[in-house]
Chain A
Amino acid sequence: MLGALCLAVAGTAAAQEKAADAAAAAPPAAVAWPEPSTSAAEKVPLATQSLLLDYVESGKRAIAVGENGVVLLSDDRTQWRQAAQVPTRATLTAVAAAGDKVWAVGRDGVIIASSDGGENWTLQRKDPWQPPGADSAADDARHGAPLLDVLFTDETHGIAVGAYSLFLETSDGGATWTQRQILAAATPAADAKPAGGDGKESWTFSKEELKIGDEDEPHFNAIARTSDGSLLIAAERGSIMRSRDAGKTWQRGKLPYDGSMFGAIGFDGQRAMVFGLRGHAFETDDLGDTWREVPTATELSLLGGAKLANGGAAIVGANGLVLLRRSANEAFKAGTVQPAGALAAILPIEGGAAFVVAGENGIARYQPKQ
């Protein structure tokens, strides 16, 4: 009797098991993969800790942009909240403001714009990569290329630059964007031989070998404007583009260094600075006719920067590095933001007494030692 009862109980258990399996096996309805460049950004609690790549100020407001279409807004530079509505989930690499308007650019060639201080955005352009054959544009190396920086001189005139010398311009506030080949017209510079290995074990392919054929189309990493309206593009592997006529014509230049420059700052007149790979920074007083190396005492790559008053500059880079000079003739002093993740942007706050930085760990405050 006992055995029978035990068996009965065990039997029930087995039956239950089967029923549970049957219930679990129901396949859910199919949902198509949402194209990220046109999907709305998700609002998430940890947005301030995500990868953030650029800052801009529009009126009283500061705006930060980054991965997953995250746009953060702050009026006090301490509390940040996510924008109400962003129509893309692509990584936003740069943001620019002019007048009351704001534009952000990013991966998949997206450009979004806002006319309400960054709360609501509209998609102005997208160009996600498609397999060859699907689209005639697919044969262009610039198809699907990410945009890396954006600059607006006023509410209607803007330039966006990106990988493979992608250059876009608008004269109607971004309603239409026109792609332009500015390299063709420029004087090509002799490409110097890249620095050799440093004895460390290298991966099978160097960038050099993989990018054969692409070298006449260096990535345009950053664009800056000096006070007299001249434009400067910091590009891949020591290449520089400059324009003295607000972008109508461009000349190609070369730095006395073969590494890439990731950022550019325009100062007064024709003074500008570029900075990038392994701690290298160069400054010019004549928009690139001559360059002088700025000592930085670091081998960490410099990824972003901001102009300060009196020709001062704040530059951020890998491992939480912050370089600061308070005036044009001062030497850079180094500091570190903890946790020491790579930084991509810096924004002076409290009249330059302190800063907020942005990078792979999101937003952090940096208080320089006096």
Chain B
Amino acid sequence: MAGSIKAVDNPSAFHRFAERVIFGNRMAVLILFALITAAMGFFASQLRVDAGFKKQIPLAHEYMRTFLDYEREFGGANRILIAVMDKNGDMFNLPFLQTMEKITQDVKTIDNVDEARIRSIFTPNVRFVEVVEDGFAGGNVIPQEFTPNIEGFEATSEQFATIRANIEKANIVGRLVAKDFSGAMVWAELVPEGGAGQVKLDYQKVAAQLEAIRAKYENDTTTVHIIGFAKMVGDISDGARSVILFFFVTIAFTWILLFLYSSSVKLATLTVFCALVAVLWMLGALRLLGFGIDPMNMLTPFLIFAIAVSHGEQMINRFRGEIFFGGLEEGTVDELRGRRGVDAQTAARLAFRMLLVPGAVALIAGCIGFATILIIPIQIIYELAITATVGVAITILTDLVLLPVLLSYCKLRNLERKREYRLRQLTQFDKIWSFLARFSRPIPAAIIILIGLAVWFAAKQYGHRVMIGDAEKGVAELRPEARYNKDAVLISEKFALGVDMLNVIAEAQPSACTTSYPVMETMDRFAWHMRNVEGVEQVMTLPMAAKIVNAGWNEGNLRWRALPRDPDTLRMATQGFETDSGLLNSDCSAMPIMMFLSDHRATTIDRVVAAVKDFREKNGTWSGGNVNLAVQIAEEAKAAAEKGEEFHSDKVNLRLATGNVGVLAAINDKVREVDAVMLYLLYGAVFLMCLLSFRNPLAALCIVLPLVLVTELGHALMVKLDIGLKVNTLTVVALGVGIGVDYAIYIFARMRESMQNGAKLTEAYFGALKTTGIAIFYTALTLAVGVAMWIFSELKFQADMGLMLTFMFVVNMFAALIFLPALCRWLLRPFEK
């Protein structure tokens, strides 16, 4: 039987060439690898952690164009909220107000904070207005004579009462001051990334500065709670560092598994070594591509390590077969015992010859798996996809070139004992293999296919409910008990407004807020309409503020809380608002309608976004995708002015969306859009690769169909575990498929060889299981152990990904072992007995 394989007996021209190049220059190959490894090691050492807000955003999306148009005027979604709480529940005491003033000052010193947008009771842009007999009176919330941090200052209870009254008049309860006056907040915003100044924000530094503020002011009486993207990135980066520890644990586990499998320190070490080389190269390549390590992307090295080990295992498996028995490990124990092994170099050469094609096919299929993720037009995903694709491509070199060359130098000690161990290993599972082999008989195969169909259908129904975006409140990347999420909960409890904000920008003609009642009325009506949508907790917009001012001009009479129609009175109601109020831009041609949402769950976002779209459709207040009506009208007005014509327009364009929820809505949209497309592309690519290598569409189908089943099961699991389908998890599915396909390809390649030699399907399957079954089992185990470690990560999204990937790897293995033979029976050999 040995040497009966076509590729081994009659290597193709390609095989001969590849073999001659590699095995003819073994030393040169090793030196070359050593040099590249040294260079890549150097580059890898220069890698820096690199997180960015815009990296996570699909910048071409309609909503995000709005976001980019207005991030300078209204700030982006890059807000930081610092809540300072008094432990006794009363903020009106001197130490608290001292702390509050100091923190407000300290926030100004944080890198890249937009000083003009800092708001707290101590900043001059927070004012109160009250009605007196002869008009309005206004001032800062903290009276000028109240100077808590000046030596010798004594606060009186009257002063506290004044401050409290001013806070109520300024209408900031629930926003800058806790509803129960137990604390107050500082709002800050970071300057936008990129743009003309090419601002590159160092989020970790900002996060560290924020943490320093917390450390400085948190004490027995005061607590400090910080939320915002910058803080989140900082916390995620910190959490991601724990991954490095996991990495070492994973290496140790993998080595132990490999040792148990091969009973050889050398083989186990070589496999791990080659995998580490692949990881090092990948990290070097990242640096060369100009990327950094993104905290969201920390897991890719793991993945590459796991993939490299699993393919290395196949190589080791084949190598041992040759070195122990001089060929495939088929036949009975006695038969095998009688066979002679070959020397290490020949064994390595034969293993190389045998695995070059299936190994490369499997890896390229995986590579395509990752490359399909590229269709998500989000920078961070590009980086992930490219990183993973490059990593897998590198694995082809390390596992299919470096490893066999190293093996060819490998002299195994105690060869005889190892041979016996292997023989035991081979027969150990015979009962399982023969049981599995029965699945390829017609009737069990038919039953299995029916079961598969039923499971697929059920999973599809259940998996349909998978939620796009976040399924839970808080930051899904972090665990619910993480400080950040606890802070977020506290802030949303103590203050009326959470951080979840969706802003629609109303665009109109210049000075619309003083000249166009229809524009203002439409905005007001829209705001009220949206306030009535479930999930919208509060709405803030210029017309609402203008109505209050109009009542103010009318002595605070509530019956005047309406928008005046004539431009003179309208102007009086709106001219008092400065751009730093965030309610209008400098020429009042763009005004946000700010909606504070109860949470950022996908169902909430979908409901609110749908309500916005419905309103603007019905009211003709939308100019179409990516139209900036403010710019368009300003040009029309200019043209009219040049001709000396009067120009007036009451058109209004309600554009989605800025604010963090606007960003999430855009991301969810993209995920939804690409979810199905990506999977079909993925299946298509795998199908094509299998078709190319096995020249049989039905065979390709045998490999792809189990993947489809497992992917649906993956979706069902996500529903079960309340994991939302978002950018992170979407990639998991692609990664799972990319790796899951390996098992089926290795098994099918072996079966095909046997069948081409005249073996019947059941025999071929039994043979494939016997020779590669253990390797596949160990591979799945290795991969699963590697990713299962993530479940203990401090970061929830890593834990979720770990769980999902473990599931995908294990279930893909079983699907390959059970459904592949059943499908082969009915698709390839329906009439064979």
Contact = CB atoms under 8 A, between A and B. Distances in A.
Nearest to A107: B562
A323 to B, nearest CB: 16
B528 A44 contact: yes
Nearest to A33: B518
A174 to B, nearest CB: 20
Contacts of B576: 203
B137 A206 contact: no
Nearest to A50: B528
Nearest to B132: A198
A44 B561 CA distance: 20
Interface stretch (B479-487, B586-594, B621-629): B621-629
Contact of A278 (B133, B518, B525, B558): B133
B556 interface: yes
B685 interface: yes
B620 A53 contact: no
A164 B560 CA distance: 13
Interface of A: 1-2, 5-6, 9-10, 12-13, 16-17, 20-21, 23-34, 36, 42, 44-46, 50-51, 53, 67-68, 89, 91, 93-94, 107-108, 128-129, 131, 144, 146, 148, 194-198, 200-203, 205-208, 210, 219, 221, 236, 258-260, 262, 276-278, 301, 303, 318-319, 340, 342-344, 359-360
A33 B374 contact: no
Interface in B124-170: 131-139, 168
Contact of A51 (B168, B521, B558, B572): B558
21 contacts: A2-B364, A5-B371, A10-B374, A12-B375, A13-B376, A13-B377, A17-B377, A24-B62, A24-B626, A30-B620, A34-B619, A45-B532, A51-B558, A53-B559, A107-B562, A128-B565, A201-B139, A210-B553, A210-B572, A277-B556, A360-B558
Contacts of A2: 364, 367, 389, 393
Nearest to A199: B137
Contacts of B619: 31, 34
B681 interface: yes
A42 to B, nearest CB: 7
B179 to A, nearest CB: 9
A146 B559 contact: yes
A13 B372 CA distance: 9
Nearest to B673: A20
Nearest to A36: B521
Given A13-B375, A205-B135, A146 B620 contact: no
Contacts of A260: 555, 557
Contacts of B389: 2, 6
B400 to A, nearest CB: 13
Contacts of A206: 134-135
Q: Which of B60, B136, B168 has the most CB of A within 10 A?
A: B136
Q: Which of B368, B561, B627 has the most CB of A within 10 A?
A: B561
Interface string B388-427: 0100010000000000000000000000000000000000
B643 interface: no
- Give the interface size class of chain B: 35 or more
A342 B548 CA distance: 11
Contacts of A205: 135
Contacts of A144: 565-566
A343 B625 CA distance: 43
Given A2-B367, A21-B625, A16 B139 contact: no
B638 interface: no
Contacts of A44: 528-529, 532
A195 B60 CA distance: 59
A198 B137 contact: yes
A7 B138 CA distance: 62
A208 B558 contact: no
B132 A278 contact: yes
Contacts of B60: 17, 21
A53 B617 CA distance: 32
Contacts of A9: 368, 371-372, 374-375, 681, 685
B521 to A, nearest CB: 6
A128 B565 CA distance: 8
| 4 tightest Cβ-Cβ pairs between the two chains A and B | A31-B620, A24-B625, A13-B375, A206-B135
A202 B566 contact: no
B128 to A, nearest CB: 11
Interface in B500-523: 518, 521-522
Contacts of B534: 45
A180 B532 CA distance: 40
Given A12-B681, A360-B558, A360-B561, A26 B135 contact: no
A346 B393 CA distance: 76
A24 B572 CA distance: 38
B135 A208 contact: yes
B531 interface: yes
A202 B134 CA distance: 9
A203 B133 contact: no
B618 interface: yes
Interface in B534-559: 534, 553-559
A262 B560 CA distance: 11
A114 B738 CA distance: 69
Contact of A200 (B137, B377, B522, B561): B137
Contacts of B2: none
B375 A194 contact: no
Interface string B664-676: 0000000001100
A254 to B, nearest CB: 15
Given A13-B374, A201-B138, A25 B133 contact: no
Contacts of B518: 33
A148 B620 contact: no
Q: Which of B133, B553, B559, B623 has the most CB of A within 10 A?
A: B559
Contact of A28 (B168, B557, B617): B617
Nearest to A31: B620
A12 B682 CA distance: 13
Contact of A301 (B131, B393, B673): B131
A207 B134 contact: yes
Contacts of B393: 2
Contacts of B650: 33
A80 B529 CA distance: 19
B677 interface: yes
B529 A51 contact: no
A201 B522 contact: no
B217 to A, nearest CB: 30
A294 B532 CA distance: 41
A27 B556 CA distance: 42
Contacts of B375: 9-10, 12-13, 16
Contacts of A301: 131, 555-557
B625 A1 contact: no
Contacts of A129: 565-566
A140 to B, nearest CB: 13
A128 B673 CA distance: 47
A324 B525 CA distance: 36
Contacts of A89: 525
A27 B681 contact: no
Contact of A258 (B133, B368, B677): B133
